[in-house]
């Protein structure tokens, strides 16, 4: 990946709907090489997909909760089953396997505290092998970014 690819990626991270023509104009190339570079990065998996970033508050997802989960037992089968179950829950928007006192960190988005209580009791509580779940409630978002730092 050269400097031109990095410039293209930076522009795409700023605005995924930017046209090839506009990228070409900004980096002083013609359309065809820019198009070919983007297609190559898509094929190679550098660019995974394009998405719209939505306003969660306008979609009644006012409460963000980080939930630390510890499993009762640790085995390959149990771990895979947990991952399968957790990825099926639409309220869980991110899930990380972590080290330390907990096994997983979940980012959960719901309407309000009542909806989170329902989620914990009726959705998360149905998943086998959870030993404990500790919740941290977000009071305010300070920084939220989807950009991966790219050094030139």
pLDDT in tens, 3-60: 999 999 999 999 999 999 999 999 999 999 999 999 999 999 999 999 999 999 999 9
Q: How confident is the model at residue 139 (pLDDT cuts 50, 70, 90)?
A: very high
Task: Compute the CA torsion angle 55, 61, 62, 64 (nearest 10 deg).
Answer: -100
Q: Which residues make Cβ contacts (< 8 Å) with residue 56, sequence separation at least 6? A: 62, 64, 109
DSSP state of 147: P
| Residue 152 reports pLDDT greater than 80 | no
Domain limits, the chain: 3-43, 56-137
pLDDT number for residue 151: 86
pLDDT in tens, 79-128: 999 999 999 999 999 999 999 999 999 999 999 999 999 999 999 999 99
Q: What is the DSSP string of 15-70?
A: -TT--HHHHHHHHT--HHHHHHHHHHHHHTTSS----PPP-GGGGT--EEEEEEEE
Q: Per CATH, the architecture of 56-137 is what?
A: 2-Layer Sandwich (3.30)
3-43 topology per CATH: Arc Repressor Mutant, subunit A (1.10.10)
Query: Rounded to two decimals, what is the model's pTM?
Result: 0.88
85-121 burial, b at 16+ Cβ within 10 Å, e below that, comes to bbeebebbeebeeeeeebbbbbebbbeeeebbebbbe
């Amino acid at each position: 990946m050269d400097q031109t690819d990095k410039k293209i990626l930076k522009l795409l991270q700023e605005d995924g709907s930017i046209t090839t023509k506009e990228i070409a104009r900004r980096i002083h190339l013609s359309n065809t090489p820019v198009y070919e570079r983007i297609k190559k990065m898509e094929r190679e998996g550098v660019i995974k997909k394009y998405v719209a970033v939505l306003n969660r508050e306008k979609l009644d997802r006012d409460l963000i909760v980080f939930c630390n989960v510890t499993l009762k037992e640790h085995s390959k089968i149990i771990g895979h089953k947990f991952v399968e179950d957790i990825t099926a829950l639409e309220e869980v928007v991110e899930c990380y396997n972590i080290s330390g006192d907990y096994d997983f960190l979940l980012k959960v988005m719901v309407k309000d505290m009542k909806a989170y209580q329902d989620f914990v009791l009726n959705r998360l509580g149905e998943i086998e092998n959870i030993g404990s779940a500790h919740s941290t409630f977000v009071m305010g978002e300070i920084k939220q970014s989807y950009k991966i730092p790219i050094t030139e």
